[in-house]
Amino acid sequence: MAEQKNTTQKILKGKSFKFGDDISTDLIAPGRYFHLRSNLPELARHVLEDADTEFVRKVKQGDFVVAGRNFGLGSSREHAPIIIKLAGVGAVLAKSFARIFFRNSINIGLPVLICDTDKISENDELEIDLSKGIIRDITKNIELGFKALPDVMIKLLNDGGLVEHIIKNKGFNL
């Protein structure tokens, strides 16, 4: 499991890990590990294991979770996006997200990008320009688009999320 770095980034690079539609918070943070919710680094060792038993062993710092529709559906387990981030994932790309998962992700500093993921395959090398809204699939030599993030959102994400941004700036200074 990779350790999360906090640097100012507009360009993200990593490998894709492909999942399908309807990846629930229970698939992200399996309920049988509920007792680990107060030990998030340990819980992160089990992230997405019910969807891909090898994921946590294969993922490297900056890699991407790529999914279909309705990523993060189910209960509002706020630790679900936290353990994805703790595992080293640089961003989650999906066709759509459950609203509470999307908001929780932004709040903790995990980029979540709504885009068409059909052309991205498992293990594709990706480069994502957050400010231009471009995903470059280096493996396939194609570009995909998404709604570019404003600089203020990139700053909030790079600060580590909403709480860290407020602490760092001694208030909500964007």
pLDDT tens digit sequence for 98-156: 999 999 999 999 999 999 999 999 999 999 999 999 999 999 999 999 998 888 888 88
Is residue 85 within 8 A of residue 98, CB to CB? The reply is no
What's the pLDDT at 169?
Answer: 83
Question: CB neighbours of 38 closer than 8 A, spacing ≥ 6?
Answer: none
Question: For the residues 6-28, what does the mean pLDDT come to?
Answer: 88
In this structure, what token pair is assigned to residue 63? 């890699």
Model confidence band, residue 174 (pLDDT cutoffs 50, 70, 90) = low
In this structure, what token pair is assigned to residue 58? 């294969």
Residue with tokens 């203020």: 152
Please, what are the domains in the chain? 11-169 (3.20.19.10)
Q: What is the mean pLDDT of the chain?
A: 91
pLDDT higher than threshold 60 for residue 14: yes
- Tens digits of per-residue pLDDT, 45-86? 999 999 999 999 999 999 999 999 999 999 777 899 999 999
Rounded distance, CA 46 to CA 27, Å? 10
CA distances from 115 to 23, 29, 66, 67, 92 (A): 16, 24, 10, 10, 10
Helix 151-158, helix 99-108: angle, nearest 10: 70
- Any idea of the CA torsion for 148, 154, 157, 162, to the nearest 10 degrees? -110
In this structure, what token pair is assigned to residue 146? 């998404």
Check residue 170 and give left, alpha or beta (phi > 0: left; psi -120 to 50: alpha).
left
pLDDT higher than threshold 50 for residue 7: no
pLDDT higher than threshold 60 for residue 33: yes
Q: Please give the model's pTM, rounded to 2 decimal places.
A: 0.89
In this structure, what token pair is assigned to residue 32? 């049988």
